[in-house]
């Protein structure tokens, strides 16, 4: 591994902390931290669960997704989002289309870059959200730093027209394929949180593989209870 110089450290600190001043989203920002990589011939199905518990509420969200790569550098995913609302009813909440684009070849430059584009519409309401994200990943020996910075615009019948930003970070140690511990950090306008995360991969024959990840994120900006547990399972074939 190339020596980790003071210059590299300064660059890294600037990259990590500069977006934090920009992040001011007001929704729940804990979700997947996206990698900037795309493989051609890839089809995937995904399930995500988010359980957000505070001293006053316990909301639950699930996402079901189907994705397919459209080219060597672009993958599209379609999501159906289900949530448990304040009255404990669990039902269909929203639809979402997501495009992820790999901008640079992995390892070619100092860091790897990608972009994410999302459009979401609520199921029974005329509420919309569009998002654009910059995806970043840099390897340091057996560890990888992944960062996402999103710009989000939302509008609709129950929403004020509003621009928000979110920042997500994951620092992962690639220990063994089946178990890779990490630290995750999230920030938005009303939320800053961090916590341990774990991910792993199990290979079947050919391109078939199962990826899993889980994280337990605690809010850092409040003294009251505010925890989020997230799980994601992805089957690629």
Query: Beta strands 74-84 and 58-69: pairing type?
Result: antiparallel
Closest distance between another protein and the C-beta of residue 77, in Å?
18
C-beta of residue 216 within 8 angstroms of C-beta of residue 208: no
Q: What residues make contact with another protein under the rule CB under 8 A? A: 1-2, 37, 39-41, 72, 105-108, 139, 141, 144, 174, 176-177, 203, 205-207
Residue 141 Ramachandran class (φ > 0 left, ψ -120 to 50 alpha, else beta) = left
Residue 66 or 140 having the CB closest to another protein: 140
Nearer to another protein, 39 or 130 (CB): 39
Pick the closer one to another protein by CB: 146 or 165: 146
The residue among 132 and 207 lying less far from another protein, judged by its C-beta, is 207
Q: How far is the CB of 126 from another protein (least distance, A)?
A: 41
Q: What are phi and psi of 24, to 5 degrees?
A: -145, 45
CA distance 224 to 37: 37
Nearest-approach distance from CB 13 to another protein, in angstroms = 21
Provide the minimum distance between the beta carbon of 44 and another protein in the complex, in angstroms, as a whole number: 14
Instruction: Please state the separation of Cα 214 from the chain's center in Å.
Output: 12
Minimum distance of another protein from residue 138's CB (angstroms): 11
Strand duo 159-173 + 127-140: pairing: unpaired
CB of 235 to another protein, least distance (A): 15
Compare residues 2 and 56 and give the one whose CB is closer to another protein.
2
Residue whose CB is less far from another protein, 68 or 203:
203
């Amino acid at each position: 591994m190339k020596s980790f110089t003071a210059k590299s450290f300064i660059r890294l600190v600037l990259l990590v902390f500069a977006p934090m001043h920009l992040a001011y989203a007001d929704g729940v920002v804990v979700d997947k931290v996206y990698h900037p990589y795309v493989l051609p011939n890839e089809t995937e199905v995904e399930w995500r669960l988010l359980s957000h518990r505070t001293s006053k509420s316990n909301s639950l969200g699930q996402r079901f997704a189907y994705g397919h790569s459209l080219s060597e550098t672009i993958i599209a995913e379609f999501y159906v989002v289900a949530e448990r609302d304040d009255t404990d009813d669990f039902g269909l909440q929203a639809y979402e289309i997501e495009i992820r684009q790999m901008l640079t070849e992995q390892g070619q430059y100092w860091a790897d870059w990608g972009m994410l584009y999302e459009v979401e519409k609520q199921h029974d309401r005329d509420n919309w959200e569009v998002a654009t994200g910059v995806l970043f990943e840099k390897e340091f020996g057996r560890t990888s730093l992944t960062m996402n910075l999103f710009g989000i615009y939302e509008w609709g019948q129950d929403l004020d027209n509003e621009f928000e930003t979110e920042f997500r970070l994951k620092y992962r140690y690639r220990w063994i394929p089946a178990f890779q511990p990490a630290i995750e950090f999230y920030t938005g306008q009303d939320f800053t949180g961090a916590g341990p995360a774990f991910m792993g991969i199990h290979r079947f024959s050919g391109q078939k593989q199962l990826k899993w990840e889980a994280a337990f994120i605690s809010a850092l900006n409040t003294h009251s209870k505010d925890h989020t547990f997230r799980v994601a399972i992805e089957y690629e074939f």
